[in-house]
Amino acid sequence: MQNRVIWALSLFFAFSNIPGEAQTIQVLKNRAKSPLGIQLNSNETAAAEQGTIQLSSEREILYTPSDSFTGEDRIRIADNSQTRSITVDVRSHPNFVFILTDDQSWTGLSTPTDRNHSHSASDYHQTPRIDQLAQSGMRFSRGYSPAPNCSPTRYANLTGKTCARLHFTDIVGRGHTLPPEGTYRLIPISKEIRDIQENERTLPELLKSIPDTRYRTAHLGKWHLDGGGPEKHGFDLSDGNTGNGEGNEGNPVNDDPKRAYSITERATRFISDSVKTGDPFYCQVSHYAVHAAIQHRSDTLDKLAHLKPGNNHSSSAYAAMVADMDAAVGILLNHLDALGLRQSTYVIYQADNGAPQFMSNAYPLRRYKPEIWEGGIRVPTFFRGPGIPENSQCDQPMMGIDLLPTIWGLASGHANQLPRDLDGTSISHWLFGDTNQVIQRPGELVVHSPHYVVSEDLAKNQRPSSALHAGPWKLVAWYETGDVHLFNLEEDLSESIDQSKEHPQ
């Protein structure tokens, strides 16, 4: 344990560039007592020209802008001998950073994804920066990807619709016109929709439609939706029409594993440019990690040498890939702090689906990607930003389809201007601490995968099926046999007790 802690700290400081005080700090209007990350000495005082100042018990400056004020305010900090000043930029609209990871298990981080289940943390992987992100905001113990595969999830995230509604239920390039084969009981379905459609309004397109906001948008990393690439669907800047291949380029050991660092560098440059222009931004950082094939830096693997492999996770090469991605996330978070964006930016972290069996164990969840069991769709999910209580947890089920309406509401978009056929809903009540609030959904939390994705060794064993979530319940329907299973996930996290006969209603 001591070696593990020492390694975690060394990794943190090796990849961290702890920023000093930013000269300009962004905050949101109508947001009371925004902590500015500035602590006063006992002999110092502070005053603002257009807002009010309070001090926390640790003498950190808490700033509240005057009613409806936007623009730059000056905070003067004085002691007996000198005066210094900090500029506060009071903003009407927040920024957003969405970090989307690839094939990451619910149990793949060194922080618990559910504080009520110790096994929800890895017994080997070290992710100190992502752990900090989780601790500085809200973790969703029941955060779900819209599909057990990447392409459908990415489409659903961008549109707020289930994959069933989108008729997009398998990855790009697979499942188009499969003939009946083997001993499958059903004729394998062909994909009705093969790429992202022009008529679907995406989140960046919607943000750009908010009057007088001038949102800048970027998509860096893996796209895997075809349709001409991100810039055909609302993004100003992108890496193009990318897929898994770009993330696999290079040797297993290289300085930019899974392009994690170069993706991050482009994201930080985009964010800096947005600050210079004064525009709010939405930046999606879609990592190729931790998808196969494994890549990592040489020195990152060396730092694992003194760690004892765990029972659930034991691959040092895979753990090094996880650590490199964590370090890249840390660089991005440091950059936001260095630019003074902590109190104006919402950071969202989620995986596109669970990990495959040959990459990472998902215990205590059942099974893996690409299956609709919990191991395939329950994923790490964290939100951080102004107004979100630190080190908090919500146990309500949410899904990637909720991102669009939630971000839209946080950006001050009017609900009646959203597409009418959304399935997701805003979860802002939960984010701001009312985690028991009952939220009415326009659609259902459905995972629909009517395909065969079966390997000879059954490491992949997805057969035509759907899953429906409602409160603690999960209903699973198998189209081959007509069987329906019911699980209470609050009592039975591993989906081992079928309660369909006890609760036929």
Instruction: Decide the pairing of beta strands 138-140 and 60-65.
Output: unpaired
Eight-state DSSP code of residue 212: T
In terms of DSSP H, where are the helices of 65-202? 128-135, 150-159, 163-166
CA-closest candidate to residue 93, choices 277, 280, 337, 270:
280
Phi, psi of 336 (to 5 degrees): -60, -45
Phi, psi of 32 (to 5 degrees): -80, 140
Per-residue pLDDT of the chain (505 residues; tens, 9 = 90+): 434 443 444 444 344 333 445 789 999 999 999 999 999 999 999 999 999 999 999 999 999 999 989 999 999 999 988 999 999 999 999 999 999 999 999 999 999 999 999 999 999 999 999 999 999 999 999 999 999 999 999 999 999 999 999 999 999 988 654 555 667 788 877 777 889 999 999 999 999 999 999 999 999 999 999 999 999 999 999 999 999 999 999 999 999 999 999 999 999 999 999 999 999 999 999 999 999 999 999 999 999 999 999 999 999 999 999 999 999 999 999 999 999 999 999 999 999 999 999 999 999 999 999 999 999 999 999 999 999 999 999 999 999 999 999 999 999 999 889 999 999 999 999 999 999 999 999 988 999 999 988 888 888 999 999 999 999 999 999 999 999 999 999 999 999 999 999 999 9
Q: Which two tokens stand for residue 307?
A: 């760690």
Q: At what angle do helices 128-135 and 2-15 cross, to 10 degrees?
A: 90
Tokens 């939405």 correspond to 282
- Output the pLDDT for position 175: 62
d(CA 251, CA 240): 22
d(CA 118, CA 125): 14
d(CA 149, CA 174): 11
Three-state SS across 351-394? ECCCCECCCCCCCCCCCCECCCCHHHHECCEEEECCCCCCCEEE
H or E stretch including 327?
helix 316-338
pTM across the whole model? 0.94
- Output the pLDDT for position 458: 87
Q: What CA–CA distances, in Å, run from 208 to 26, 233, 413?
A: 21, 11, 10
Eight-state DSSP code of residue 402: G
- Output the pLDDT for position 176: 53
- Is the backbone peptide bond immediately before 293 cis, with ω within 30 degrees of 0? yes
CA-closest candidate to residue 290, choices 214, 354, 206, 364:
354
H or E stretch including 271?
helix 260-277
CA-closest candidate to residue 112, choices 294, 380, 439:
380
